Structure 1
Amino acid sequence: MDQDTALRPLLLITLLFGLALPPMAGANGTTAESDLDAPQSLPLRETLERAPAAPFTAELRRLYEARAFQPLWSRGGAPTSQALALTDALLHADEQGLTPADYDGPRLQAWLAAKPSAAANWTAFDIALSRALMRFGDHLHRGRVDAAAQAKLGIALQAKAPLDWTALLEEWSKSAEPAQALNRLEPDTAVYRTLKTALRQYRALAAQTPAFTPIPPAKKGLRPGETRDSVPALRALLQANGYLPQGQPPADANLYDEATADAVRRFQTHHGLEPDAVVGGQTLLQLNMTPANRLDQLRLGMERLRWLPDKHDGTFLVVNVPSFRLYGFSTGSPNLAKPDIGMNVIVGQAIDTRNTPVFQADMLYLVFRPYWNVPYSIARKELVPLIERDGGYIEKNDMEIVDAYGAAEGGALEASAENIEAVYGGKLRLRQRPGAKNALGPIKFVFPNMNSVYLHGTPQQRLFLRTRRDFSHGCIRVEDPASLAEFVLKKQDGWDKERIESSMKGDKSFTLRLGAAVPVYIFYTTALADEQGQVQFYPDIYGQDTKLLKLL
């Protein structure tokens, strides 16, 4: 018996009982112990009719029924050129930040290498390849982690609509360039393409530098002009990551010279850090990230970008929490490297109860000159103790006590000890009047949601000078509410810049409903790119990367 003949029974069993559907953690749909419980002699129709319920089984039946149960991927006992190209694409799924074994790339390649000849053998291969392509294509387009698995991380983003697999696989089976057609399912944005390019670069870097030498911690940060034994390791890391050109070190190799300090500033800028050239704390932590760590960030960044919509026909907003930025788009794809409007934001503190959640909702109205109805938890834990220590606190901060249902303007209650006690007990509430001291600033942007999160201005503009900006209780403070309002209202008749600014300074609070809802995506990725195509990494302030890696 020759080697090929000996391999065929084993490979066929693999195809029928595992190849077409290996166990998947976090895959879209449920898994099954076996895929196609059918003897190898059955043709396509009977094989599919006996297939158990599993992801994409219904789509497979529709696909082959539409083509009278004729195979897609073989002709006369040989694979088509499209089958070879698409199998190769599955084998290189790691170029998209995915795992080839999850899509049977190695097994399909082994099957082809065995050169099966029987028609029934090709039936198993046809079904296995079609299912693997559906799974891979779905993950390229919508992400590997489905909405149910995202919910475990507290993420509530609407999944993209399923694709038309019958049309797509028919197209790929006839395409002169099927792998390129498959790759068109990926997000069509500059940021995604930059991360994909960086993935190749960091894979090469990981292969070239197996002996990673971290910079040892020190009691205080390293500053320019100082001399330490750790400087050569610092210089080597900066050179390996492309921030410092290869060249002759200074006469004293342990001197933290200005050229190295400039490289550190560039590194800090691209990692969401204060560009002060001081090597300590977060800078040291980010410098000591291995190429493998960065590969994880890039893969997670690509996965998360697949969760965003392909495009919108109207205005929409994206807030990325780790980069502390808001991105606005007039239409099209969410290209975070080149938004139509962008500004800094302040997000929730890195405390479990104050994290800004990841979700989406539609902005429906704006409130000019808003009152701030102080949440009960903030009133009880933070403000009532201040009021009890300072009898003039309420008056100094333009606050008032109102009934629990929110009294009309002018309905403030006396700031008596009894009423303050009622605020503490939740029977009355605190609110802050519109004005220069109001915590919400001149405008509140409301997109109703279960998290009670919204966008708003703030009188604390100095906080936007900080590089790390997680200071809120969960809501998102925007740096320039006037510009954001102008962007959101640009298609609303009568609302130009002058009227917006006048309303921000008006005497009364009022609500303006939007003519068209504006989708808002509160997003979370620690890997992005700027307009110049430079990858930017940000600290994982809420630990979401670690949690998502466990799911994957």
Structure 2
Amino acid sequence: MSTFKQVLLLLIFFLPVVLLHAQDLSVEEILEDKILAKETQGTVIVEGIELFSQVELPKFYTNREFELAWTSHKNRRDLIESLESSYDEGLSPEDYHLDRIRKLMAKSDKAKLSKTETADLDLLMTDALILYASHLLEGKLEQSEIRKNWDVERNAGPSNPDSLLTITLHNQNIKQVFEDFKPHHYMYDLMKFHLKRLRKESAQGGWPWVSDGEVLKPGDTAGRVAEIRKYLIAVGDLKESLVENKNIFDKDLEQGVKKFQWRHKLTQDGVIGKGTVEQMQVPVEDRIDMLLLNLERTRWIFHQPDEDFLLVNIAGFHVKRFTNRKEVFNSRAIVGKYHKESPIFKGVMEYIVINPTWILPYSIATHETLPNLKKDPGYLEEKHMEVMDNKGKLLNPSSIDWNQYSSGNFPFIIRQKAGPWNALGEVKFIFPNKYAVYLHDTPSRGLYNQQDRAFSHGCIRTEDKWGLLMSLMNDPEVWNMEKINEILESGETTKIYLPKPINIYLIYLTAAVDQDNNLMFMKDVYKRDDAVLKALKAPFTFNEG
């Protein structure tokens, strides 16, 4: 007899026995088989779907001796409604097995599910709960895997997720637990409000079109003025009112244009030029995408914000302080230029230095200062700089033959003396970090008036330097301009420790909402958005690494 016929006879003989055995298994035994199969196949799989939770889910079912977890109709209904509402969080319900769960639930309404289907539904629901909760808590994506220089630690999860899951199902408070896992910051809630609003406006046909054309100024009359008026009313920057001639660029329209420019970080001159028109021509669907990806960034950062913290939004070119969830300080800022990006990370600000000196980074000393020294030996004196050896001993620059050194063999330290000429200005704010980045002043004050303020080598320059100092010291009787001027006039480098260290977040948001519910859009100065949006819209896949 051929080998094929022997195998066929064996299958015919044993198959009924195998099927009978499967039918005799209890739901608990089927659950156990599916979970223990992880030891041989590497992951827990349900109907070809690789589950997300490959640690907590097996642990959860093992601890409950493989009993079904989703016997409560309320828990099932609350889970499905919560997964559906993930759309309003800027996430994709399809990531959480929702279609398969719905099909199994619909089937159970008409007929009794098989034991295998019952086990599958239970596993899918548990996995969906864990996955959705993790996305609310940590975000769907890991930003550091998409782009370097994102160094904010992931939000801490519950200390005992197995116990939390058991208690949540027992108390039937699934919706409340999901709420607890969302970021607790007004910006997150308001961004969701605007996401829902813009989606509705998109479904209704989007925003009115604004045509290209000549620059328009207050007092002008042209057909395009009526287009712009209609557009600004649609986006909420201009109230609808009766006007005799919609083609006249009147005072109300000018104020509407300025508000639009302010919300989009444009120069607020009330003039409708190329840059303003370009922003008006961005379709509502693109603005929706910006909200989606920045809601994700908010989940990375604002899960449990401190009662008091500093926030630098690199894309927004500003520094803010939040105390008791209210904005108490706001200043324009200058950030790192493209290809010399300011890093994204969390630090702790500890002290302030007035009349700082500046140790030039090695790259600046060798690539910018050294070439100038080779041309002009008096360059250091002209720039109020001095040269030291690696032990800090001052050297005579005229005794050094700069032509024999290069970026590969430069054994010196270049330091700029304290004073109004210093690149750090009159003050710097220190939060020790591996990037050697800090906040500081600058003598180039005119740069703050620029629309796009990405000019630095990575550090953050803050415009309202003394406002920030006095806010942090929080003692107006001592730390006022009289005291500050006294230190400045002394010329002495003075270190001042904060009364209480404060967390500072350097982040990157290209869409945000302020406390007055104004929706802001910022330029993607570091070109980060596309990669985040692409990853966010892709189906979620389990990554064991």
Aligned match of 1:222 in 205, 216, 220?
A: 216
Q: Does 1:70 align with 2:67?
A: yes
Does the CA-based 8 Å contact 1:195-1:302 persist in structure 2?
yes
Q: Which runs of 5+ in 1 are unaligned?
A: 1-37
- CA displacement at 1:323 relative to structure 2: 1.6
Q: Which residue of 2 aligns with 1:13?
A: none
Q: Which residue of 2 aligns with 1:162?
A: 157
Q: Which residue of 2 aligns with 1:362?
A: 348
- CA displacement at 1:450 relative to structure 2: 3.4
- CA displacement at 1:294 relative to structure 2: 1.0
Aligned match of 2:468 in 484, 508, 531?
A: 484
Residues 239, 174 of structure 1: alpha-carbon distance in 2 compared, 3 angstrom cutoff: farther
Q: Which residue of 1 aligns with 2:31?
A: 44
Between Structure 1 and Structure 2, the one with more helix by share is 2
Residues 542, 417 of structure 1: alpha-carbon distance in 2 compared, 3 angstrom cutoff: same
Residues 254, 512 of structure 1: alpha-carbon distance in 2 compared, 3 angstrom cutoff: closer
Q: TM (normalized to structure 1)?
A: 0.80
Q: Does 1:189 align with 2:185?
A: yes
Measured on the aligned residues, the alpha-carbon RMSD in Å equals 3.2
Q: Within 1, Cα distance between the matches of 2:94 and 2:194? A: 22
Residues 282, 420 of structure 1: alpha-carbon distance in 2 compared, 3 angstrom cutoff: farther
Q: Which runs of 5+ in 2 are unaligned?
A: 1-24, 44-50, 537-545
Q: Within 2, Cα distance between the matches of 1:313 and 1:280? A: 41
Find the residue that maps to 1:183 and give its secondary structure: helix
Aligned AA for 1:73? W
Deviates more, 1:542-551 or 1:172-181: 172-181
Q: Within 2, Cα distance between the matches of 1:416 and 1:226? A: 66
Q: Which residue of 2 aligns with 1:345?
A: 333
- CA displacement at 1:356 relative to structure 2: 1.3
Find the residue that maps to 1:43 and give its secondary structure: helix
Q: What per-residue deviation string (whole Å, max 9, x for no partner) do you get for residues 396-445 of structure 1?
A: 43222x1342735xx25235783477487634343210012111123322
Q: What per-residue deviation string (whole Å, max 9, x for no partner) do you get for residues 441-469 of structure 1?
A: 23322333333221112223333344432
Q: Does 1:107 align with 2:94?
A: no
Q: Which residue of 1 aligns with 2:256?
A: 263
Q: Within 1, Cα distance between the matches of 2:385 and 2:262? A: 40
Q: Which residue of 2 aligns with 1:418?
A: 401
Q: Which residue of 1 aligns with 2:541?
A: none
Q: Within 2, Cα distance between the matches of 1:313 and 1:190? A: 13
Aligned AA for 1:59? E
5 Å matches for 1:356-435?
A: 356-383=342-369, 393-400=379-386, 402-405=387-390, 407-408=392-393, 411-415=394-398, 418-419=401-402, 422=405, 426-435=410-419
Q: Which residue of 2 aligns with 1:209?
A: 205
Find the residue that maps to 2:503 and give its secondary structure: strand
Q: What per-residue deviation string (whole Å, max 9, x for no partner) do you get for residues 347-384 of structure 1?
A: 112x21x2212122333444332211223433444445
- CA displacement at 1:551 relative to structure 2: 2.3
Q: Within 2, Cα distance between the matches of 1:296 and 1:506? A: 53
Q: Which residue of 2 aligns with 1:449?
A: 433
Q: Within 2, Cα distance between the matches of 1:463 and 1:412? A: 34
Q: Does 1:298 align with 2:284?
A: no
Q: What per-residue deviation string (whole Å, max 9, x for no partner) do you get for residues 482-536 of structure 1?
A: 4434444559xx9855766644544433555668654322100011112212222
Q: Does 1:279 align with 2:265?
A: no
Q: Does 1:137 align with 2:133?
A: yes
Residues 255, 421 of structure 1: alpha-carbon distance in 2 compared, 3 angstrom cutoff: farther
Q: What per-residue deviation string (whole Å, max 9, x for no partner) do you get for residues 125-148 of structure 1?
A: 111011111111111111111255
Find the residue that maps to 1:256 and give its secondary structure: coil
- CA displacement at 1:307 relative to structure 2: 1.1
Q: Within 2, Cα distance between the matches of 1:313 and 1:292? A: 33
Percentage of identical aligned residues? 28
Q: Which residue of 2 aligns with 1:31?
A: none
Q: Within 2, Cα distance between the matches of 1:423 and 1:368? A: 33
Q: Which residue of 1 aligns with 2:12?
A: none
The structure whose Rg is larger is 2
Find the residue that maps to 2:55 and give its secondary structure: helix
Q: Within 2, Cα distance between the matches of 1:328 and 1:61? A: 44
Find the residue that maps to 1:345 and give its secondary structure: strand
Aligned match of 1:84 in 70, 73, 77?
A: 77
Residues 122, 511 of structure 1: alpha-carbon distance in 2 compared, 3 angstrom cutoff: same
Q: Which residue of 2 aligns with 1:468?
A: 452
Q: What per-residue deviation string (whole Å, max 9, x for no partner) do you get for residues 113-167 of structure 1?
A: 12243343222111101111111111111111125525x3431111111234324
Q: What per-residue deviation string (whole Å, max 9, x for no partner) do you get for residues 40-88 of structure 1?
A: 894333322223436422211232334343222225xxxx122112112
Residues 83, 458 of structure 1: alpha-carbon distance in 2 compared, 3 angstrom cutoff: same
Find the residue that maps to 1:367 and give its secondary structure: strand
- CA displacement at 1:324 relative to structure 2: 1.5
Q: TM (normalized to structure 2)?
A: 0.81
- CA displacement at 1:306 relative to structure 2: 1.1
Q: Within 2, Cα distance between the matches of 1:416 and 1:506? A: 31
Find the residue that maps to 1:184 and give its secondary structure: helix
Deviates more, 1:282-291 or 1:361-370: 361-370
Q: Which residue of 1 aligns with 2:57?
A: 60
Q: Within 2, Cα distance between the matches of 1:65 and 1:517? A: 45
Q: Which residue of 1 aligns with 2:11?
A: none
Residues 107, 234 of structure 1: alpha-carbon distance in 2 compared, 3 angstrom cutoff: farther
Q: What per-residue deviation string (whole Å, max 9, x for no partner) do you get for residues 183-234 of structure 1?
A: 2211111111110101110000110115x5543434x533223344433332
How many residue pairs get matched?
A: 495
Does the CA-based 8 Å contact 1:250-1:257 persist in structure 2?
no
- CA displacement at 1:280 relative to structure 2: 2.5
Q: Which residue of 2 aligns with 1:124?
A: 120
Aligned match of 2:227 in 229, 233, 239?
A: 233
5 Å matches for 1:499-538?
A: 502-511=486-495, 518-538=502-522
Residues 542, 390 of structure 1: alpha-carbon distance in 2 compared, 3 angstrom cutoff: same
Find the residue that maps to 2:397 and give its secondary structure: coil
Does the CA-based 8 Å contact 2:345-2:507 persist in structure 1?
yes
Find the residue that maps to 2:238 and give its secondary structure: coil
Deviates more, 1:129-138 or 1:269-278: 269-278
Does the CA-based 8 Å contact 1:443-1:504 persist in structure 2?
no
Residues 502, 329 of structure 1: alpha-carbon distance in 2 compared, 3 angstrom cutoff: farther
